[in-house]
Structure formats: C-alpha cells, structure tokens
A and B are shown apart, each in its own frame.
Chain A
C-alpha cells in the first residue's frame, strides 16, 4: 500500500511537469540499448536485465542471481563514410575559400552523424548498476549563403545508474526505480562562423594532418573542443503488470524528475504492451516477443509518428543462456533490425533508423551498429 501511494505521488509529479513545460529544458539522455533499437525502441512492457534502468526499471524484477556484461558499439552510415572520404581528400583546402567551394558539392547541406557507446552493467537479483558512455557527433561543411562554414554538434552522456525492481503482490504488478547521475557534454548542432570562437577551434582540429580513414572519423569529434559540460541527477520509474501468462502491460516515467544544472529536463511517459509466449523444443527455450509502445505522451509537440513504436523478436536459449536472437521493429515509421549471436561473448549487428525531419520519410538518419558484448 505504501509503495502504491508513492507511485501515485510520483505520477502527480510527472503530470505536473507536463502541465508546466516551461519549467523544463532539453530532453534527457536517450540511451536505450541496441536490443530496444533493433525492436523499434519498444520494450516498456517487456524489457529485462540491466538495460531496464533506462527503459523501464520495473524490468529489474526477477533478474539472475548475478549477471555482468560489458558492451561497446559503433554506429556508422553512408553519409559518414562519404564525409570521412571527402575530409581525407579536402582538409588541406580549409584555408582556401575558392577551392573549398569548388569541392563542397558532395557534402554541402548534409550532416554526417557518428555514434558510439560503451556500457558496463551488473545485475544481482532485483538490483542493477550500469555505467554508460553514449556519444553522438554531428558535422557538416556547407555554404552559409555564399561562403563556406563548418557545422558541428555533440551530445555525450556519461551516466551512472543504479536501480531496483519491486514486486507488489497486492496489485499483482512489478515496479522499479532507478537513480542516475549524468555528466553531459553538449554542443547543439549548428553552423559556426568566423566571428565565433568555436569556428577556430573546430578548424584547428580539422586541419590536423591525418593519414587514414579513422583519423578523419576522429576529426568528426571536433565539437568536443567547444562543447559545454553540465551535470545532474535524475530518476526513472516504471511499472508493469502481467495480464495472464503471455501478456504484459507497462508504463515508464523517465526523467521524472531529472535536473541538469538546476533546470528540469523534459520528462517522458511511455506505455507499452507485450505479448511474449515461449516454448521449449528439445531443452531449448524459444522466447518470442511482440511489442507495441506509445512514447513521449507528456510532450504535446511530439508528432504522432515518433510516438508509435512496434517490435517483434525471437531469442533462443540453451542451458539458460541466450544463444541467438533476431529482432525487427518499426521506429518513427522505419523498419529496424537486429541480430545477436554468441555464448558468453556475443557479436551483434543492429540497423536503426530515426526520423530527424518533420514528417515520416522526410529525413531518415540511419546507423549500422556493430557491437561486441561480454556477458556472464
């Protein structure tokens, strides 16, 4: 009963923030993990394991006696590769406007985005701890009106999160809380000009000689030279309830509240439903999931196509350990895909797309993400 009362109190708090969005600033950390991305960012009702800290802490209930995992992934795409190649050929022209303008066509007005993440997580029964470093860089070279200007952007979150899941037999539901510390390095994506200090710092970085492809990928991180740091604390909370053996519904309140540099972060309310039957075939367990989520319900400006998420997954277990999995989903209207294979050491590939334009299909931003994972 006490937990239910707290839960209501938290709900009122969250709705209160939704009513007064002027109190809020930028959206909170966006790390959700590759499994959720493969399944179209769904998982509010079905997530389990340490990643539940970021999606719905109620998923921490019923974890293994001890589980540790570390992952690292790299997200690249065609535009990024084009940029890196262009940079390798043209970085020496940064001081010559005429030459640069003559060569700018392939990259003008196109932003290249690069992402990577590293996680270290541990779960002990209903408790979990996770350290995440999630970085996204953006870069462009384009014409302002008639002269060339660089553009950079960066959002890097270092998150330390700890959470616990609870079982509430009275309401036949599970719920969870996760606290987090966030250290953020951020530079909002923008063009920088010759009277901006950032212009020169970015230019210096770009002008450094580089011999290989990765040298030029590294230069994409020039925004870190000019980014500002902030830090804050926050809370994620969520609840799930089983409806029979194979259905679960869930709701997650993310960043409710989260405070960065004394300013409230816009909270998220996500809800989802999951159908998750499993079957045993010759001692192998096959776990299926069909998920449907609605996200960002507290944000009146969020377009509908960014709210609706679908995901489908299969995962095969041998000896209680996951062996292989496949997932597909629909994020912002785009199909996503993921596959994972291994035993203790896993390799996975995820194809993830999000819409950065104003309407479905306008400006997709896609990533091929390659991941290595060690899980005990």
Chain B
C-alpha cells in the first residue's frame, strides 16, 4: 500500500509539473514527410499566428497536395501568400481609392515609377490566391458560368476543394476583389505562368534555346521574344496612364499601346475578361446579398470597387475587335451575340465620321449635322433613330445599370460633349443647343432603327449598322460615346487610320490596293521604283509609305515630302510616328544617325502617298490604303500598325 501511496503522490506531483505540456509530443517527429493534412493545417495556422507567412505557405502548400479537397488549406494558403507580400484589404482599398475621384489617373498598383519586380510582387500573390479561391468555388463535374452570356466560366476539374469547411460565401468577396486586380494586370503575364518577369516564356522554352524560341508556340505567346513581358509592361503603363477608373472614357486609351497589331486586341482583352467577369460575378453576388440584408455600411465600403469593376467589365466587352458581333449594343436589330453582316463603310470625306447622305445638306448648320449619330442629325432625323425608351426595352440589363459609366450614360454624356462643341453661328441658336442637350441627347440614341438602309450616296455602303463599325483611328466614328470600340478588319475596308479614298471615289467601286514583292525586291513593302536596287542594310528605304523612306527624304529632299505624302493635321510632328522611329532596328538607326530635325520633318507626314501611282512601283493598282497589308507580322504600309488591314 505504501508503494501505491508513493505512486499516487508521484502522479499528482507529475501532473502539476507537467501542467499544460504534452507527454506524447517527444514521440512524434516534427515536420515529418508523412504528416497528415490536419497536422500540416495546424502547423500552417501556427506559423500564420507567429507572422511567419513564408513557412505557413509551405505547410499549406503541402496540405493542399496531401488533401486536394481541403478547402481550408486553399483558403489559408491564399491568406498566407497575400500576407507574405504585405497585401490586405486596406492596401487594396487605398490603391483603388487613390485612383478614384480624380486624385490620380491610371489603374491601381501601377504608375510611372512602378518597376517590373514591383508589379510582380502584386500580381504573383494575387494570381496564386485567385487560383486557390477559384478551386473552392469550382465544381467537380459541372461548368461554373461567371457571366450571363456564358462566355466566361470555370471548367470542372473533378478535384476541387470541396470538403465544405469553407463556404462559397467566404471565398466570394475576397475572390471578387482579387480577381479585379488580376484582371487589370493579367495582360502583363503573357506566358501565363503567374509572374510578370523579365524573361517571357520560360515555361515553354526553359533554357531559351534558339530553336525553341523559333517555334510557333513560343512566338505566339511571346510575340517579341524573351523581353515580351518587359515591353508589354512599358506599353501597358502608357496605355493606362490616362485612364480614370472613376470616369471611364475610351479617349483615355490608345489601342496602339495594347499592340501595334490590332489582331492582338482580343487576346489582350481575353486575358482581362475572364478574371474581370469572375470578379464582377462574385462582387455582384456579394453586393446583392448585402443589399438584401440592408447592410448599407458594408455595401458602401466595397461599393467603389464594385462600381469600377462593373464599368471596366462592360467597357472591355465593348472593345472587342473584328468578331462580326455588335459588342457595344448599337446594332440595328436585337441580339448582340448573333453574328451578322459586318458594316461596310468608307470615309470618303476623311472626317472620321459616317456621313448618312451626301445629297442632303443642312443649310446654316455645321457640316457634322449630316453625320450618323451627331446630335443635330438625331434632331433633324428622329425617325431614323432608336429612342432611349426603345433602347431600354431592347436591353433591360443596360437599362438596369444605373452607374455613372453605364452604356446609356456614356452615350448621353458624349452627345452633350458634341453639343457643347457646336459653334453658335448660322441657324444654331442658344435655344437649339439647350434643346439638343436637354431633349435630344437623353431621348434619342445614336443607334439607327432596324429598317434604316444606306442612302445611295453615303459613307455607309452595306451591312448592318453597329457590327464592327469602328475604324482604329482614335475617333468615335459612330458618335456613340466610345472610341475605337467594336473595330473591324475585313476585305474592302479602309480599316486603319487613313487611306487614299476621297469624295471622288463616292459611288465608285473601291478596289483594294494591289501590290506584291518582285523577286529583286523582297522586303515586305511596296517599292516605289523596282528599277532601283534595294539598299543593303536599309531595304525599306525605297518603300512607299515607309518611315525609312520619309526619313530618307527628310534628309535628302525634304521639299519633296509635301508633294508625295499627306501631312498630319496642323502639319506638326506626330508623337506616335516619332515613337515608331525609335522602334526601328537599332543598328539601322545607329548607322543613319538621324537628327531630331530630320525625324520631326519625316513625322510631319503620314504614310499616305498622295502623288500619282509611280510607274515602276510594286503598287500595281487599286486604292492605296485599302486592304494593303499581308498577314505577315510586318508593317507593310509604314503606318506603325502591323497586319491592321489585311488581304484575307
């Protein structure tokens, strides 16, 4: 019995000494490779609590691998990686708010001082966290649609984080916010490896072996080689530098900063559209839930971001290029997703707008009164246009959008801008301008009615008004409040920013430009005189419209430039042209060493040849500037755009 007493005493004493300790823990090996999911999860949580986010990421990564259905591992991995890079709701909110209310232009996280590594430190954690959270929402067998038109979706992968420990409701708000950031930066990740890095395509060509870099797969991904993402980053900064996310205006975006090849536009937009649609979908569901529970205060805190995302999401959809669809909801008949006849028109009077009827004049009113969509044209021809009331009935979703940048608001706002630009002279009175602004703009849209057909002498030749109606020319051709949206690139059109078409061609058949490299002048541009040999090291110097030709003339015969080429407006050097000079072959530029005066002189003139067709030219017929490009990745006509108006 004494032994029992001693044992009891010892047990009580040991209990007090070991209070709070675990006697079995020495029997388990820490960090063992076969640690269970639960162990890894707990280790990760403890690392988070200690602020060791890097270690936490490792544990959660292992937990995900151990048990792919574990939603907590996915959620906490997302949390750890965001914390590891120092991002949280407050920093996100500050970024969005700093770019709103006119404080600062551009998009969140990006300004002129942002470095490549700086943007990568935002994009990479966001990309990873989005992947984690999407896995929680993703279904195992059914596709999850993110947009009403079902264009954006998450495919089932049969292996989702589906254990139910984290509800969809937990994932949605954060996913919506993170997808918004991902969407804005996704075009920078050209190779889709989740990083914005200095070498593009290491996931395709790990060693960057020359043979691999020449493959179609690599070239399709990293169009300008290993530095593609670096270059895209630089142009992306230029593209977005003037964007005001609180007041989206297509005038703030230059399509050439997306790419000088318009055929890249849709790919660029696609990179943004998926996450943007997902963000819009998730934030919308959160916003609706908050609204239905009268959580106005919470709603207001995400309201700014939700509004920006909705606007951007809509806006991106308007900008799609050459898809035979009415992307911006201004086709004559209903059905934006239904393919129709592309709208064919030529800008005979070179004003960037679409004249409805050259035979009708508006005495005492500005010339623009005859252009489709202009407030005066709407005022004088209300029977040609769809009213706002009819438009709302046609597109209930647009009608329900009460944001400041809704499709209808953009249209009304731009209409009033046009009104304010009408000079008060002739028959234009102050009362008329007030009426246009107060009545015409909010009552009559710029969209033509379904039954309206082109006049015999009109810019508009055929096809459905509103389907791929815009030229990539930095002008709002249809005066609907959006510039260079829903653009086209098809046979028989002057799709780039200029052509040699003029009023003399009105009523005539427009024959596309015909040219072909002759065997002695294989330089992918129309030579002016094939009897003159190509210059070694400067094969494009003799090409019609080429920058090299204009530079050469600026140096050797500047007096001939005004006789041969069409000047830019106001005869001043064009900034984009000067940019394009800097993109020429560095060896060529170094060899020629053009002065700034020579560059300025060359860039005072467009690529449009205004002199008669040279007798020994490769240009053998047709209208210069109409379908002049071959689909060869080269700027054949020297206008700074690649493959923008191809001979399909």
Contact = CB atoms under 8 A, between A and B. Distances in A.
Interface string B1-41: 10010011001101110111111110110000001111111
A98 B90 contact: yes
Interface string B141-171: 0000000000000000000000011111111
Contacts of A190: 164-167
B4 A360 contact: no
A314 B25 contact: no
B178 A146 contact: yes
Contacts of A290: 4, 7
Given A200-B295, A358-B35, A359-B25, A192 B170 contact: yes
A145 B301 contact: no
Given A146-B89, A366-B20, A195 B169 contact: yes
A191 B22 contact: no
B172 A193 contact: yes
B25 A360 contact: yes
Nearest to A310: B11
B369 interface: no
Contacts of B90: 98, 101-102
B48 interface: yes
Interface string A267-300: 0000000000101000000001010000000000
B540 interface: no
Interface in A189-235: 190-196, 199-200
Contacts, number: 179
Contact of A359 (B7, B14, B39): B39
> What does DSSP make chain A's interface, helix, strand, loop or mixed?
mixed
Q: Give the contact-size bracket for chain B.
A: 35 or more
Contacts of B491: none
A145 B15 contact: no
Given A146-B88, A192-B170, A362-B43, A109 B49 contact: yes
Contacts of B41: 358
Interface stretch (A41-49, A83-91, A257-265, A330-338): A330-338
B342 interface: no
Interface in A317-359: 326, 328-330, 332-337, 351, 353, 355, 357-359
Interface string A38-72: 00000000000000000000000000000000000
Contacts of B553: none
A335 B21 CA distance: 7
B227 to A, nearest CB: 33
Nearest to B289: A195
Contact of A196 (B39, B46, B48, B170): B170
A144 B79 CA distance: 7
A361 B35 contact: no
Nearest to B172: A195
Contacts of A358: 35-42
Contacts of A245: none
B39 A144 contact: no
Interface of A: 95-98, 101-102, 108-110, 143-149, 188, 190-196, 199-200, 277, 279, 288, 290, 305, 308, 312, 314, 326, 328-330, 332-337, 351, 353, 355, 357-364, 366
Question: Which A-B residue pairs are the 10 nearest by beta carbons?
Answer: A193-B169, A358-B39, A361-B25, A333-B24, A358-B38, A196-B169, A361-B22, A193-B170, A360-B24, A328-B15
8 contacts: A95-B297, A144-B79, A146-B87, A190-B167, A195-B173, A277-B1, A359-B35, A360-B24
Interface of B: 1, 4, 7-8, 11-12, 14-16, 18-25, 27-28, 35-43, 45-46, 48-49, 75, 78-79, 82, 87-90, 92-93, 129, 133, 164-174, 177-178, 285-286, 289-290, 293, 295, 297-298, 301
Given A143-B88, A193-B168, 13 more contacts: A98-B89, A101-B90, A144-B173, A190-B164, A192-B169, A326-B12, A328-B14, A333-B22, A333-B23, A333-B24, A334-B20, A353-B20, A359-B35
